[in-house]
Amino acid sequence: MDGFPFLIGQHPLIQKIQVLIKKVSSTDATVLVMGESGTGKELVARAIHALSTRGDRPFIPVNCGAIPAELLESEIFGHERGAFTGAIGARAGMFQLANGGTIFLDEVGEMSPPLQVKLLRVLQDREIRPVGADRTMKVDVRVIAATNKDLQHEVDRNAFREDLFYRLQVIPIIMPPLRERRSDIPLLVEHFLEKHNRKKPERTVQITEEAMVHLWEYDWPGNVRELENLLERMVILSEDAAIRVETLPSNIRSFISEKRIPKPSLTASGLDLNSAVEEFENRLIEEALRRTKGNKQAAARLLGLKRTTLVAKLRRRKAVPGTVQPSQNYLL
Amino acid sequence: MAMDENGYRTGDTRMDVTNAGRVLVVDDDKHAVEILYRLLQKEGFEVLRAQSGKEALATVAAENVDVILLDVMMPEMDGFAVCEALRAAERTREIPIILLTAKDDMETRVLGMKLGVSEFLTKPINKRELFTRIRAQLHQRGLEHGIVSLVDRVD
């Protein structure tokens, strides 16, 4: 753990989440962290634990989605000797291991309905019953759960118990996807570059402003984790210590232009090829004129046209900068 | 769903869309402002208008605004200057700014990125993209209000 702040970012939402984390860490309240994968849910859980009075006690993460359902109960609550075939000795579960500390139940939405009942009981009575045991034992554990599912939706379709949902989300924390806090991308990029550059002290990989813009505009379906993975790879693979637009993976590099130029689609009434081509041509001409600040000679050169050809096209289409004939999808 | 005095849903943990919030449209082109105004209103947003950087700052000082749709190229005070002024003042520091840019305009993007804008929206504007990006910013604002009231409740 790198110390405070636990979350990198100056976005107002991240700042407010930091405040909430601090406040919540002084309580024993159950917390439910929601958000897409890669948004930093475990980081939030670790921060709450580290800042709490339990900070020097164990933090036990359990990925409920990664453990086979039939084993999850004994993993979480432990089992007695001979509780089931293969249970040779008694074994402590995660709740016992976390005693005095915090248990982090990741992907809690994956829990089977019978296990949900048992978790509910733990939250209500603060005691567990190991598999095969005939008596319960008291545990002092703070529970932090996380999910990338919309749990309310799971409740609505009866896949998740409503009473457990409310017990878990005493304090709900929603981590925003990276694409909804783009302003933090430069900060995160610098942070991860520094972190991974440290492993290769003989040279420092840097990023150009233009490459940064491409990272800024990419939608990051894998969120902060995807960004870190990419930068780690780029630091290792970089040949000349610079991350430039050309060295970015093509899916990220092409994102700006692909996103911006909607693919024409055949509608029921068909596609008017002439007007679609015309629209495309108009936009290229407009872009060339914009880049050359209206200099037709230079714009023609950019487009690989003779000046007279460009002038003729302009006259025909009246495509002066900023007044390209809008298609139906476009407003301005 | 319960609402607080500002019309924000409280205790709402769903990740659904929202039109709750005020959008300020800033462009020196009167025609552009009118089109955006009508379109956004028809879509259910509450919309305010400004035709210059100065007017925009005056509006933001007098009214609560949740997201600003800001054109870059304006005479006198351009979009960048408006961004700087908004980011410099405590009251307006956190208002999301969606900057209207030309496609592939790298210079504007680099500057906008440095000034802390929230999104770029490329002209010509695509309706669906416009609504989606505004809603995303309003959603974040709603979550921020939710956290603030939650922090107040935690003891």
In one-letter notation, the amino acid at residue A331 is: L
Q: Do B94 and A12 touch (CB under 8 A)?
A: yes
Segment A193-198 shows an average pLDDT of 94
A317 falls in which pLDDT band (50, 70, 90)?
low
Each residue's pLDDT tens digit, A198-229: 988 888 999 999 999 999 999 999 999 999 99
B108: in domain: yes
Residues of A in contact with B140 (CB under 8 A): 12-13, 176, 180-181
Residues of A in contact with B123 (CB under 8 A): 332
Residues 45-84 of B with CB under 8 A from A: none
| Shortest CA gap B148–chain A (Å) | 7
B151: in domain: no
B131: in domain: yes
B13 falls in which pLDDT band (50, 70, 90)?
very low
In one-letter notation, the amino acid at residue B139 is: H
Interface check for B111 against chain A (CB to CB < 8 A): the answer is no
Interface check for B103 against chain A (CB to CB < 8 A): the answer is yes
Reported CATH class of domain A12-176: alpha beta
Q: Do B127 and A329 touch (CB under 8 A)?
A: yes
Residues of B in contact with A29 (CB under 8 A): 154
CA distance B137 to A79: 48
Interface check for A284 against chain B (CB to CB < 8 A): the answer is no
CA distance A55 to A315: 73
Cβ-Cβ pairs closer than 8 A, A with B, add up to 110
Residues 3-42 of A with CB under 8 A from B: 10, 12-13, 16-17, 19-20, 23-24, 27, 29, 32, 34
Sketch the domain layout of chain A as residue ranges. 12-176, 179-259, 273-317
Q: Which chain A residue lies closest to B40 (C-alpha atoms)? A: A331
Chain Cα centroid distance, residue B150? 24
Indicate the CATH number of A273-317 among 1.10.1740, 3.30.2250, 1.20.950, 1.10.10. Answer: 1.10.10
The phi and psi torsions of A207 (rounded to 5 degrees) equal -125, 140
Identical fold, A179-259 and A273-317 = no
Residues of B in contact with A34 (CB under 8 A): 13, 15
Angle value at C-alpha A58, between A52 and A60, nearest 5 degrees: 105
Which among A28, A32, A21 has a CA at the least distance from the CA of A164? A32
Can you tell me the ipTM of this complex?
0.84
Instruction: Provide the 8-state DSSP code for A319.
Output: -
B136: in domain: yes
What is the per-residue pLDDT for A264?
Answer: 53
Q: Which long-range contacts (CB under 8 A, 24 or more apart) does A148-156 make?
A: A148/A34, A148/A35, A148/A36, A148/A37, A148/A41, A148/A107, A148/A109, A149/A109, A150/A34, A150/B14, A150/B15, A151/A32, A151/A34, A151/A108, A151/A109, A151/B13, A152/B13, A152/B14, A153/B14, A154/A109
Instruction: Provide the 8-state DSSP code for A108.
Output: G
Q: Cβ distance B134 to B23 under 8 Å?
A: yes
What is the per-residue pLDDT for A296?
Answer: 84
Q: Cβ distance A134 to A91 under 8 Å?
A: no
Given A172, A261, A332, which is nearest B125 (Cβ)?
A332
Segment A23-35 shows an average pLDDT of 96
Q: Which chain A residue lies closest to B136 (C-alpha atoms)? A: A180
Which domain range does residue B62 map to? Answer: 22-142
Segment A275-299 shows an average pLDDT of 76
What is the per-residue pLDDT for B63?
Answer: 94
Q: Do A13 and B15 touch (CB under 8 A)?
A: no
CATH of the domain at B120: 3.40.50.2300
Q: How many CB atoms lie within 10 A of CB A211?
A: 21
| Shortest CA gap A188–chain B (Å) | 13
B40: in domain: yes
CA atoms within 13 A of residue A238's CA, in its CB half-sphere: 23
Given A32, A213, A330, which is nearest B125 (Cβ)?
A330
Q: What is the CATH number of domain A179-259?
A: 1.10.8.60
Interface check for B42 against chain A (CB to CB < 8 A): the answer is no
Residues of B in contact with A150 (CB under 8 A): 14-15
Lowest mean pLDDT among A87-96, A278-287, B3-12, B73-82: B3-12
Q: Which long-range contacts (CB under 8 A, 24 or more apart) does A262-270 make?
A: A262/A329, A262/B126
Interface check for A162 against chain B (CB to CB < 8 A): the answer is no
Structural domains counted in chain B: 1
Interface check for A181 against chain B (CB to CB < 8 A): the answer is yes
Q: Is the pLDDT of residue B50 over 70?
A: yes
B80: in domain: yes
Segment B87-92 shows an average pLDDT of 93
